[in-house]
Amino acid sequence: MRGNKSKNTRPELALRRALWSAGLRGYRVHWPKAPGKPDVCYPGRRLAIFIHGCFWHRCPYCQPALPKTNVTFWQEKFEKNRSRDLRYQQLYRAAGWQRLVIWECQLRQNLSGSLTLIRELHRGVPPSYGIAA
């Protein structure tokens, strides 16, 4: 488990690289003043972006398989992750922040679509479509 990083993962770095090249700068990385230390945060715009790994957060799109060994441990682990994510979602909603969740598989398939959505949220335009929020 030592090889599983929580910060600066490949999907996170890919998104930050794309944000930078798209001119969406001024973000904070793992900003500690926001609940859950979002992967990318625009504090002035009250926008928090989380990049969820499909395996760890149980992606509803690609539905990764459960590990075959130590099943009860993994089920508890994934349930704790889900409840923590739900708690953060409620905290952001109560604080009036926009919270965007981008799944690892969505980032691989459609990085430009994620950037378009972030650009709209960055400008303050309510999106007409969305990635799981």
Give me the CATH number covering residue 33: 3.40.960.10
Task: Using alpha carbons, select from 133, 130, 106 the residue that is nearest to residue 120.
Answer: 130
Confirm whether 19 is domain-assigned: no
The pLDDT of residue 22 is: 85
Convert 12-47 to b/e letters by CB count within 10 Å (16 or more is b).
Answer: bebbbebbeeeebeebbeebeebbbbbbbbbeeebb
Q: What is the pLDDT along the chain (133 residues), one digit of tens a residue?
A: 556 667 888 889 988 988 888 888 889 999 999 988 999 999 988 999 999 989 989 999 889 999 999 999 999 999 999 999 999 999 999 998 999 899 988 888 877 777 777 877 777 645 444 444 4
- Are 132 and 103 in contact by the 8 Å Cβ rule? The answer is yes
SS3 of 48-91: the string is: EEEEECHHHHCCCCCCCCCCCCCHHHHHHHHHHHHHHHHHHHHH
pTM of the model: 0.81
- The reply to whether 111 falls in a domain is yes
Gyration radius (Cα) of the chain, Å: 15
Q: What is the pLDDT of residue 127?
A: 47
Separation CA 112–CA 22 (nearest Å):
10
Is 62 a member of any domain?
yes
Tracing tokens 């905290």 back to the chain, one arrives at: 91
Q: Give pLDDT, residue 110.
A: 77
The domain in which residue 95 lies consists of 26-123
User: At residue 82, what are phi and psi to the nearest 5 degrees?
Assistant: -65, -45
Domain count, the chain: 1
| CA 107 to the chain's CA centroid | 10
Question: Per the domain annotation, does 14 fall within a domain?
Answer: no
Q: Is residue 9 part of a domain?
A: no
pLDDT of residue 2: 54
Domain assignment of residue 5, yes or no: no
Assigned domain for 106 exists: yes
Say if 112 falls within a structural domain: yes
